[in-house]
């Protein structure tokens, strides 16, 4: 896992080979953040939420780029422990991993975010419902941006909050506002 840009640029962290999570590829992550730079100024007080954080790759990139606060939600204990290890290694005081179920978090969360990223397992049965849940529970600030990573079989262009779709190899991102 490599940090693309920011204060931790070029730092590498070895993800244990036993992990079930598939980190977003460097190619897809770099292109995603190139697009995100048109939507957000990460150094301008961005409060971010990373759902299904997995290895913490996106959270780490957000911290590196200057987000004020990054919350990472991850259910798997091994992945959560790895995220904590990386967080402590870089001494990030603005990165807050939470071990728990994303859907319970969404239901109970009482705050809003400038940026939300979700990278659920592609085979998750209710993956298509995630954008509706984000907006129903009002987790996104008025000018905020939500990005969902998903497989090629899903289309969100009819969703009322859909903005655009990008794909990089087998990785697809749908953007919502």
pLDDT 10s digits, 26-75: 899 999 999 999 999 998 999 999 999 999 999 999 999 999 999 999 99
- The pLDDT, as a whole number, for residue 96 is 97
Rounded to an integer, the average pLDDT of 128-134 is 98
Q: What is the mean pLDDT of the chain?
A: 95
pLDDT band at residue 17 under the 50/70/90 scheme: confident
- The pLDDT, as a whole number, for residue 159 is 97
Distance CA 140, CA 97 (A): 19
Rounded to an integer, the average pLDDT of 150-163 is 95
Distance CA 161, CA 154 (A): 15
Q: Which residues contact 169 (CB under 8 A, 6 or more apart)?
A: 25, 27, 28
CB 144 within 8 A of CB 115: yes
Q: Which residues contact 82 (CB under 8 A, 6 or more apart)?
A: 15, 16, 19, 55, 56
CB 63 within 8 A of CB 71: no
pLDDT band at residue 20 under the 50/70/90 scheme: confident
Residue 114 has pLDDT above 90, yes or no: yes
Residue 89 has pLDDT above 90, yes or no: yes
Residue 21 has pLDDT above 90, yes or no: no
- The pLDDT, as a whole number, for residue 139 is 98
- Residue 27 CB: number of other CB atoms within 10 A? 11
- Residue 165 CB: number of other CB atoms within 10 A? 15
């Amino acid at each position: 896992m490599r940090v693309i840009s920011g204060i931790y640029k070029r730092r590498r962290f070895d993800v244990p080979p036993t992990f079930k999570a598939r980190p977003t590829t460097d190619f897809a992550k770099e292109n995603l953040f190139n697009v995100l730079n048109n939507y957000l100024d990460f150094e301008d007080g961005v409060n971010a939420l990373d759902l299904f954080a997995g290895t913490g790759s996106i959270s780490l990139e957000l911290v590196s780029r200057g987000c004020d606060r990054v919350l990472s939600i991850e259910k798997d204990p091994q992945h959560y422990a790895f995220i904590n290890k990386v967080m402590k290694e870089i001494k990030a005081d603005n990165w807050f991993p939470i071990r728990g179920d994303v859907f319970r978090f969404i239901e109970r969360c009482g705050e809003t975010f400038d940026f939300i990223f979700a990278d659920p397992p592609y085979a998750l049965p209710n993956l298509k419902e995630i954008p509706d849940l984000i907006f129903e529970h009002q987790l996104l600030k008025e000018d905020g941006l939500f990005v969902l990573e998903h497989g090629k079989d899903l289309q969100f262009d009819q969703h009322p909050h859909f903005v655009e779709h990008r794909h990089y190899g087998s990785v697809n991102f749908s953007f919502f506002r």
